[in-house]
Each structure stands twice: as structure tokens, then as C-alpha cells.
Amino acid sequence: MHPKVNINNPFGFLSRLCLFVSLYLFSFSNAWTEELSSFEKRELSRLLKMDWTELANQPVSGVLGYDQEHWRNPASIAIIRPDDIFDGGHLQLVDSFRGVGGMFVTRGNAYDDFVTMRNFSGSPTEKFLMLVDGREVLQPMGGTITWGTEEVPLAILDRAEIIRGPGASIWGTNAVSGVINVTTKPAESTQGNSVRLAIESTGTFLGELVHGGKIRDGEYYRVWVRDQEYAESDLLSGLPARDDGYGRKVGFRYDKNLGMDLDLTVAGAYSTRQFEHIFDLSYRLFYINNDPLNPFGLTPGSPPIIPIGNFPVAVQSILLATTNWPVSESSPYDSIGGVTRYQNFEELAQDAGHLRTRLTGVTGNDFEWSIDAFAEKYKTNLGHVGHQWERDEYNLEFRGNRPLGDRNHLAFGLGYRFMEFDVTEVVTSPWDFPVLDLVSLTPLSIPGSNSYPILNYKGPDSFQRFSAFVQDTFEVKEDFFVSFGSKFEDSDFSGTTLQPGVRASYSVNPDNLLWAAYSRAYRQASLVEKFTEVSYARFWDASNGIWINESFESDPTLDDEVMDAYEIGWRSSSSEKLLWELSLFYYDTQDAVFSGPPIYNAFDYTSVGGELTFNYIPNDFWELQGSYSYSKGEKEGVRQTDFPESMASLKSVIHAKDDLKFVQNLYFTGDRILPSAYNELPIDDYLRLDLGMIWQVGEGWRIGLFGQDLLDPDHPENMYTDLDVEPTRIERRFLLSISKEF
């Protein structure tokens, strides 16, 4: 038996329930079905396959500020549901983004993924905003998302809305290239026990357990635990990456219905991650012989003079062979190709916890509102580079929406955010030897050390932000809608900003929808970019017998990146079997931040491209989904090569029997040149093939067998460009996954 549906929004739920029942009763009438558009027929077919527990949460809420049917939204949207993750053999939500048009997902090491959207790359900063149940999870220190920390068990995931293109008029700063809006299921929908187990041929293991129960009518709870053990990977050179570790997380949720129009949710989670990581010093220590014509002491026939900050491997090999490095007992040595590797190996620990409370209600005039309060504590220790920071954060937010007459729907909100930081830098033992500043040639050190840290934070210890937004959607006529609004923010980061946006949609006929949008979006520079000096190399001055420190400075004067975004789209469903969409975009960004010696620099950046996506169901047992993306970026008029210009995906699902299906995923990623403060690294294009078989065993049990990256034994994808100098190998692997649903 299916549990009852949680009525977080009784009026919205009842209206959708009535619609569902009406469509169900009348769908058998030929006269009725002939009047439905292909969009509606397609949605009806999907709804009829769903159980009651899934019905209440189908519309998209992240585009206009209120629930709107997926196909009506004037934006490029993809929806990831739990079955998409399990059937693809993905251990994490982020892995499933590879099949979304415009999304570029790469693996950097055993435990971290990099995600960029619509030709924004260069460094591992995500230039989009991600929310989990309304909580912003972009880390302000590095401008990144710690994907493993934000994962939740598959059984409690409702969906992830991926909105490509700026959402700044509603979500505000950092919603630049897009918004990922993740929501979890209410506790009432997760009653009983669920378990998920998965193991890869590499040794990586995943285990999830969820238990939900009922306290009394209208009062439900759940508790859960998630554990992922990461196996060690290999570096491109063949050396062990020593990046194994674990990520563990526990959480809870409590829902109580306080009346027909009032609901309370209290939820929270705590996660801890512990990894090993190598910081390779071999590529950061260099020899200078004071010969102005040959400053690096190169042998005859070697490359010409190399400017500081760009060190080819051939030069490094000569330097490694001719220089006496500082020695520390805590520094392991490896050798490859006859060249000694000088490395610092230490642990990387992350702990995070959050608590959230939400109160939602609906008044008699269809005014839907919610009040959210969040508290979060986040601690990271990058032991391999001696950088540790803690963040305490508090958020309070109000959101509401209501129809105004027959033609207007107004959404609005207010918010306050406060963050406090405690940053500590130490000089790790292998890096602790006397150095001079490159410019002033004066000694550099921090208290308690002989030397200078790799990362040195010089910024303030607290920030606050006030925000408000208003968005009005107006029905000009039955087939033409216009939505316009803006986000207002006042913050210690950026001062006062105004982020307007306008969207419009026009139904050419019942089966074709045209839409267009303009947005002005802001991205704040991360605390590393704005306030943290990065020492990336040291040079041995033989004549003076001293090491000279080379760094690139942060820039506290960096302005926000400001992007003007123009988008158009065409969504069509010529029949209930086929849905396709073409979306085109042009982004013009001022003060886009790129890292590299001698400073974090701001440039004008333009990006142009588009995506073609389709979903085709030729018959009852076969489904096809696919996408093709093209994008081109230019920095100050110079074409960039750090983002693959072409990407494509194709997913095929064959339902061989009611309890057996076969899934094929094919991904193509074009070539690129991986930027680095040390050495640029060409990454060839690669084709990834994943095959899977999913078997329904008894009530609620599923077994999945998968092969991934079957066409290539291994290939590199990405790395931390400002710290690491060598990516890991992404290897062919096999996966067994078992789950039991509620």
C-alpha cells in the first residue's frame, strides 16, 4: 500500500489532485483526448504511471517563484529523478548531470567532481547556484560546491531541477550560468525502511539506510545514514594518487501538520569526510644560476628562456636532477623516469552540519508563504597545504506568492544572511625553509615558522547580506505570458546591487512554445580570489644561497562579475511520443575572474552557444533521450580552449520485461586544454559508454549491474589547477547496486 500524500500545500495539492482525476476519467474519451495538446498527452501518460506519493511534487518552482508545469516554463530545464540516478549506475547525484545538455562534469580525483555550465571553466569555481531544500550550498571560500558533503540518500531525493541560464532575479548573487534546485521528499512519503548498497570494482563502496515512521496523524519523521568509502586512484604518471578516504553523513526530518493551512518542518544533517592527499613539491622548486641569458641553467639543445610561472616538464626534469632540495623526514619520495618526486602527504578533513526549520501556509485568498531559518557550521582542513577554515552561517528567509486577479501571479521574498570565518594557516614541514620575497628580496615568514604558507588569507572575518525580490507574471492573453522582476541585495561583499530579469513565452499552437529571456546576473569573487595569496613556486638562488618565494596575489578590489544574458528557446511536442527543445544563449560578462600569476585577473568574457535536447518514446518498451551542446568562449576577444566546445549524450532504456530493463548511456566530450599555473595539459576528446541491467526482484527490491567507461581503459579529466600539477586516471570499472524501496 502506498502511504498518504503529505499536504504541504493543501490548496495546490487538491487542485492538482482534481486535475489528475479529471484527466484520468476523461482520457478514455476520444473526443477529450483529441482536444489535448501533445504536451498535455505526454504529461498525462507520465502521470498515469505514477503512484499517489509522487503526484504532489511535479511542477517546477525555481523559474518564476511559484509552481508551474515543466513544459510551460520560459527556461531551459532538466529534471533529475531518483530512477535516473539508479538506472544510470550513478553513486551520486552529480554524476547524473553528465546527461544534461550544457553541463560539463569531470572527475578530478577519487572523491571530487568538477561541474561547470555553458562554457564557464578555467578554474574549479562553480559559477552557478545550488540549493538543497532552499539552503545555498556554494562555499564562499573557494567558490566551489563540496558535492560529496551535500549528497543525500537516493530514497529521500524527490528531484533536482537544473535550470540552465541565470536565475538572478529570484535567487540573486551567484545564480549566473544557472541554478540547481534540489528538493527532498516529505517525511510522510518515506515511511518504513529503505536500503541501498553499491560496490565498484575499484573498491569504492556506498551504503545508505533510511527509516521513516508516524508519530500520530499529521506528524511524521525519518532518520537516515549514508557512508561512502573511496578507493585510491592513480595519477596520470602511474604513481598512486593516495586520495582514498571516506564520506559519512547522518540526517533527520520531522514534519507536523499544524492545521489545514499550516505545516512545520525541522530537518538537519551532519557529515564528515576524511581523505588523503598529496601536494607535489617537485614541480614547485626551481634552480636559478644567475645567468641572465640562461636563468634556469638549461643544457644545450633544451628549450629557450622560460618566463616565470610557465614551467614545461622538460625544464622541471633538468631542475629536479641538478638541485639539492630541502629534506624533511615527513616527506615521502617517489621516483619516476629517474627523477625524484618531492611530495607532502597529509590528510584533508571536512566536517559540516546544518539545521533548518520551515513554516509554510496558505491563506484563504490563495496566498502561499514560507519562512525558512537555517544554521550551518562548516570546517575544512586542507592539511596538504596547511590551510584550515571554519564558517558559521545563519539565514532567515521569507517567500510568498499569490494570484492577483485572473491574469497576474506575484512572487516576492526577503532574506538575511550572516557568515563568520576563522582562518588558520600553518607552514607544513616539507615547505618550512627560509625564503625571500621575489619583489622586495626581504625574508618571508609567519609566527612560529621559518617560512611562508602556501595559502595566506588576508580578508575580514565576517560578512552579512540583506536581500529582497519581486517577480510578476502577467498573462497578456491566453497564449502569451510575460514575467519580469528583480533581486535587490546589499552585502559586505558587493555593496548594493540590482539584478533584473524578464522572461516571455508564447504558445504558437498547442504543441509549440517559444520563449525568450534577458537577465543581469552577478557573481561574487571567492574569498581565495579576493583575499588569499597563493604561493605556487620557489626558486633557488645559488649565488646567494637562498630560496625566493613566487606567489600570485589576491585582489581585494575585484568587482563582482556582471553578466548580461540573452536566451531564446523553442519547445515542441509534435506527438505525445516526442518532445524536443532548442535553446540558444549569448552571455556578455564584465570582470570575469581568472587565476594565474601574478594576480587574480578580471577580464571581459563572452560565451555563445546552445543545446538541442530530445525525449522520444517510440513504443511501450523503449525510451530514448539525447542532447547536443555547442559553446564558444572568448576572453578579451581571444578564443578559449579550457571548455569542450562540443558535448553530446544519448540514453536508451529498453524494458525487456516488467521486471527487467537495459540501459545504455553514451557521452561525448570534446577536447580541451586544461589551464594551470604550472603546465597546460591537453585533454583529448573522449567517448564514454556505460551499460546497465536493472532487475526488479520482489516487492521494492532492485539489483543493478553496470559497466562504465567501457571504451577506454583510462583517461584524464580534470584537476585543481592552482594547486595540483597532475590529474588522476579515470578508469574502466564495474558496479553492483542493490536497493530496497519503501
Q: Is residue 536 part of a domain?
A: yes
**Average pLDDT, integer, range 611-615:** 95
664: amino acid identity, one letter: Q
Angle between helices 38-48 and 10-26 (to 10 degrees): 100
Give mean pLDDT, residues 437-446: 84
In a domain, 365, yes or no: yes
Q: What is the pLDDT of residue 715?
A: 92
pLDDT at 322 over 70: no
Within 13 A of 375's CA, how many CA atoms are on the CB side? Answer: 3
Q: Residue type for 144, please?
A: T
* Cα three-residue angle 619-625-629, rounded to 5 degrees: 155
Tens-place pLDDT, residues 291-309: 544 444 434 333 333 333 3
pLDDT band at 340 (very low <50, low <70, confident <90, very high): low
Q: What is the pLDDT of residues 152-200, one digit of tens each?
A: 999 999 999 999 988 888 888 889 889 999 999 999 999 999 999 999 9
pLDDT band at 596 (very low <50, low <70, confident <90, very high): low
> Does residue 665 have a pLDDT over 90?
yes
Distances in whole angstroms, Cα of residue 654 to Cα of each of 642, 658, 692, 736:
36, 11, 11, 19
With respect to residue 670, please indicate whether it lies within any of the assigned structural domains: yes
Higher pLDDT, 340 or 622: 622
Backbone angles phi, psi at 324, to 5 degrees: -90, 110
Distances (CA, A) of 233 to 98, 190, 331, 407: 21, 36, 20, 57
* pLDDT for residue 22 is more than 60: no
Burial of 450 (0-12, 13-18, 19+ CB in 10 A): middle
Helix (H, G, I), strand (E, B) or coil at 288: strand
CATH of the domain at 501: 2.40.170.20
Higher pLDDT, 529 or 600: 529
Peptide bond into 598 cis (omega under 30): yes
Q: Tell me what pLDDT residue 734 has.
A: 97
Phi first, then psi: what are they for 111, rounded to 5°?
-120, 0
Q: Considering only residues 278 and 113, tell me which one the structure prediction assigns the higher pLDDT.
A: 113
Domain assignment present for residue 157? The answer is yes
Question: Which has the higher per-residue pLDDT, 268 or 142?
Answer: 268
Number of domains in the chain: 1
In a domain, 64, yes or no: yes
More confident of the two residues 319 and 441: 441
- Classify the phi-psi angles of 64: left when phi > 0, otherwise alpha if psi is within -120 to 50, otherwise beta: alpha
Residue 20 lies in a domain: no
- pLDDT given for residue 282 in this prediction: 66
Q: Between residues 13 and 632, which one has the greater pLDDT? A: 632
Q: Is the pLDDT of residue 670 over 70?
A: yes
- What spatial distance separates the first Cα and last Cα of the chain, rounded to whole Å? 10
Domain that holds residue 125: 59-281+345-740
Per-residue confidence (pLDDT) for residue 5, from 0 to 100: 35
Work out the average pLDDT over 465-494. 93
pLDDT digits (tens, 9 = 90+) for 537-595: 777 676 676 778 888 888 888 888 899 999 999 999 988 899 999 999 999 999 888 76
What cell does 262 get?
Answer: 499550516
Share of the chain above pLDDT 90, in %: 54
Q: How far is CA 302 from the centre of its chain?
A: 42
C-alpha 433/C-alpha 33 separation (Å) is: 78
Task: Give me the pLDDT at residue 98, please.
Answer: 93
User: Is pLDDT at 671 greater than 90 in this prediction?
Assistant: yes
Q: What is the mean pLDDT of the chain?
A: 83
pLDDT (tens digit per residue) in 55-111? 333 577 678 887 777 778 888 999 999 999 999 999 999 999 999 999 999 988 888
**Inside any domain, residue 17:** no
With respect to residue 43, please indicate whether it lies within any of the assigned structural domains: no
Residue 214 in this model has a pLDDT that exceeds 60:
yes
Q: For position 24, what pLDDT does the model report?
A: 39
